[in-house]
Amino acid sequence: MDWLLQTDTELFRFLNVSFVNPVFDRLMPALSGYHVPWLPAAIVGVPVLLWFGSVRLRVCLAMMVLVVALGDPLVIGTVKDSVLRPRPFVVLKDARLYVPQLRRFDTHGIGYVTPLPDGSLPANANRHSFPSAHSANWFAIATVGFLFYRRSAFWLVPLAALVTFSRVYNGVHYPGDITAGAILGAGYAVALVVLAQMLWNVAGKRYFPKAYARLPNLLQPETVKAESGKRKAEK
């Protein structure tokens, strides 16, 4: 176990200290969600897609929201509170940490600082590292998207990978944290979709027979639309 932790630490140092460059110094904070209005964009974008999208797209988006809303606090939060692994900047004096609130300590004005000797951080800073919630959430979303729309993997998976890498580059997670988060997120995303299909097979047939007839398999296009297209083709 010691060699695994040592390897994790050395890989963190390489990605966080030795691999730094001006381009990533600007890009990685944005990928982690700093100074980017991801939440307002989601609040506006998701309802629009729900309104104009197909039933299948609505179900997909609902699964994405649900997998983050349930997985983050119930799975990731529980594991973090059980493992209690300190974040890299808490124990590694040479870690580069991106903290917008501490920009005044950065001579370049970018926001990357070396942790202060006394470990000073914002009062609400989360010091638990394992696993990464960002990694779990993004890979859960990417997995749900892939299950519903295979081609979405071409952009969702690379985006999830970049976001998870940014967490190491920004000094808040070890590589092992983001790897575990990705595995957990993808795992419980699959479990949630399977459970939703099982519940739909029971509740849909009983309480929503018309909707179930149109969409018996949540991952497949609506039956009515497919049959309509087939009839038009025959004519």
Which helix (H) or strand (E) segment holds residue 113: the answer is strand 112-113
Is residue 71 a contact partner of residue 185, using CB atoms and an 8 Å limit? Answer: yes
- Predicted confidence (pLDDT) per residue in 126-184, tens digit: 678 899 999 999 999 999 999 999 999 999 999 999 999 999 998 889 999 999 999 99
Tell me if 218 is assigned to some domain: no
Report which listed range, 3-17, 94-108, 112-126, 179-193, is most confident: 179-193
Tell me if 126 is assigned to some domain: yes
**Can you tell me the distance from the alpha carbon of 83 to that of 214, in angstroms, rounded to the nearest whole number?**
45
**Can you tell me the distance from the alpha carbon of 185 to that of 183, in angstroms, rounded to the nearest whole number?**
6
Tell me if 228 is assigned to some domain: no
Tell me if 151 is assigned to some domain: yes
Is residue 35 a contact partner of residue 29, using CB atoms and an 8 Å limit? Answer: yes
Is residue 44 a contact partner of residue 38, using CB atoms and an 8 Å limit? Answer: no
Q: For position 39, what pLDDT does the model report?
A: 62
Tell me if 233 is assigned to some domain: no
**Can you tell me the distance from the alpha carbon of 159 to that of 177, in angstroms, rounded to the nearest whole number?**
18
* Mean pLDDT for the chain overall: 81
Look at the chain and report how many structural domains it folds into. Answer: 1
40: which 2 tokens? 């307002």
Tell me if 194 is assigned to some domain: no
183: which 2 tokens? 């595995």
- Predicted confidence (pLDDT) per residue in 25-46, tens digit: 888 888 888 766 666 666 666 6
* DSSP states of 171-227: TS--HHHHHHHHHHHHHHHHHHHHHHHHHIIIIIHHH-HHHHHH-SSTTS--HHHHH
Domain limits for position 170? 2-189
**Can you tell me the distance from the alpha carbon of 57 to that of 48, in angstroms, rounded to the nearest whole number?**
11
Amino acid at 92: L
Question: Which has the closest alpha carbon to 80: 127, 132, 130?
Answer: 130
Tell me if 177 is assigned to some domain: yes
Tell me if 231 is assigned to some domain: no
Sequence-distant (6+) residues with CB within 8 A of 108 are none
Q: Which domain CATH number covers 19?
A: 1.20.144.10
Question: Which has the closest alpha carbon to 75: 216, 225, 187?
Answer: 187
Question: Which has the closest alpha carbon to 83: 184, 222, 211, 225?
Answer: 184
